[in-house]
Amino acid sequence: LMSPVYQVTASAPVNIACIKYWGKRDTTLILPTNSSLSVTLSQDNLRSTTTSRSSSSFEKTRLWLNGVEEVIKPGARLDRCLAELRRMRKENVEDKDPSVPKLSTWNLHIASYNNFPTAAGLASSASGFAALTASVAALYGLNAFPQHPSSSYSPPADASQLSLIARQGSGSACRSLFGGFVAWEMGKDSNGRDSLAIQVAPESHWPSLHALICVVNSGKKGTSSTAGMQETVLTSELLKSRIKDVVPSRMSSITQAILAKDFDSFAKITMQDSNQFHAVCLDTFPPIFYLNDVSRAIIAIITELNRVSVEATGHLVAAYTFDAGPNAVIYTESENIKTIIQLLLNYFPIDFAASPFNDSFQLFGVGHP
Ligand code: PMV
């Protein structure tokens, strides 16, 4: 007789922060030094899809990323996320109903795919850990929906509770469990139970807002976010004032801007926070540089576009933001997408004959929350 295999597939999108997370106060639990806020891109071509299977016949827990098996290091992030999910399965499901299969004691086979090139330098750990957490949680019946073999994923009863687990895989992953506009509240507890993601507004709230992703360099980044933010916490004076005097008021101002669909405020705060994040990187000793000449040219182009627009109409038209790499994400409203793409293509003509995802400039696509 074959032992049953339980299986769930879940998928989660990439998110791009407007208020940046940079700095941990607890590196094991992944507790941040400041709250952050992001937009989840609902575009279909920027997602991770993860299938988790559980069977008493699996001899060990295994993981494949884009079809290649990875080593699961004991005690490392993935291992800790899975331990947390097993504990929740046992306490919330198995201990309450002794008739359910003891999946918490069985091994898992997990296969995760990114439908965008992992080498594109776009945040893949956020969507990856969010999809993994969502799929194992659904497999373990940690949501309101009945569990059965080969069920497909439905949104969990409480995505904020799952965000506590995804956070321990990669901080920014906690925000990818929600669509739309998402805050990661830093919390106060040393155990991290209040460091979770909440939805500020759903994707339907501001349908005209779009994100244009400009891949400037598709190579792997120089300094990983994990190593970079630790160096910043240890050496940057500027980070201290950012945490204390800047981020708290920006969190409330940008939340208000989002709720009011006030693009001018949203754009200004987003650009200022990207700038301060990169200033904090420069203030790290030795300094960390994520922006390159093309990134800085994009900042100059958007700044000039906004200057001309403010002169003519009184309003900003675009906001740039950069994570731990040179690639730009430009937020704008629908009516300006064409202008911005044409402007960027004037400065950085795309060689459409070249193979995709080489190191030349390219426009990845237009997403929206
Ligand atoms: O979650 P991590 O370790 O990949 O860190 C992400 C850090 C930034 O992308 C630079 C900022 C953010 O809030 O997403």
Confidence tier at 78 by pLDDT (50, 70, 90): very high
Mean predicted confidence (pLDDT) in 45-70: 94
State yes or no: pLDDT of 152 exceeds 90: no
284 CA distance to ligand 1 middle (Å): 16
User: If we measure between CA atoms, which residue out of 255, 267, 251 comes closest to residue 209?
Assistant: 267
Q: What pLDDT does 30 receive? A: 97
Mean predicted confidence (pLDDT) in 300-329: 96
Q: Whose CA is nearest to atom 6 of ligand 1?
A: 172
258 CA distance to ligand 1 middle (Å): 21
Q: What pLDDT does 121 receive? A: 58
Confidence tier at 178 by pLDDT (50, 70, 90): very high
Q: Give the list of residues 6+ apart from residue 197 with CB closer than 8 angstroms, or none.
A: 159, 160, 163, 167, 174, 175, 177, 178, 182, 183, 184, 185
Rounded CA-CA distance 30/25 in Å is 8
State yes or no: pLDDT of 117 exceeds 80: no
Q: What pLDDT does 6 receive? A: 95
55 CA distance to ligand 1 middle (Å): 34
pLDDT higher at 2 or 287: 287
State yes or no: pLDDT of 340 exceeds 80: yes
Q: Verify that 69 and 213 share a domain, yes or no.
A: no
| Ligand 1 nearest atom to the CA of residue 36, by list position | 13
Pick from 151, 182, 203: which residue ends a domain?
203
Q: What pLDDT does 214 receive? A: 87
Q: What pLDDT does 357 receive? A: 43
Q: Whose CA is nearest to atom 9 of ligand 1?
A: 323
Q: What pLDDT does 61 receive? A: 98
- Choosing from 127, 168, 323 the residue with most ligand 1 atoms within 8 A of its CB, the one to mutate for a pocket test is 323
> 77-86, 193-202, 351-360 — which is least confidently predicted?
351-360
Where in the sequence is the domain holding 135, given as residue range(s)?
A: 6-203
Rounded CA-CA distance 344/214 in Å is 9
343 CA distance to ligand 1 middle (Å): 28
Which domain CATH number covers 69? 3.30.230.10
Q: Verify that 124 and 213 share a domain, yes or no.
A: no
Q: What is the pLDDT of residues 273-310, one digit of tens each?
A: 999 999 999 999 999 999 999 999 999 999 999 999 99
Mean predicted confidence (pLDDT) in 93-114: 95
Mean predicted confidence (pLDDT) in 330-335: 94
**Would the CA dihedral through 142, 147, 149, 152 be positive or negative?**
negative
The answer to whether residue 283 sits within a structural domain is yes
Q: What pLDDT does 118 receive? A: 63
Stated as kind and residue range, the H or E segment containing 69 is: strand 68-70
Q: Verify that 156 and 242 share a domain, yes or no.
A: no
State yes or no: pLDDT of 217 exceeds 80: no
Q: Verify that 152 and 48 share a domain, yes or no.
A: yes
200 CA distance to ligand 1 middle (Å): 19
Q: Verify that 233 and 181 share a domain, yes or no.
A: no
Total domain count, the chain: 2
Q: Verify that 39 and 130 share a domain, yes or no.
A: yes
Confidence tier at 120 by pLDDT (50, 70, 90): low
Q: Verify that 250 and 194 share a domain, yes or no.
A: no
> 215-219, 234-238, 254-258 — which is least confidently predicted?
215-219
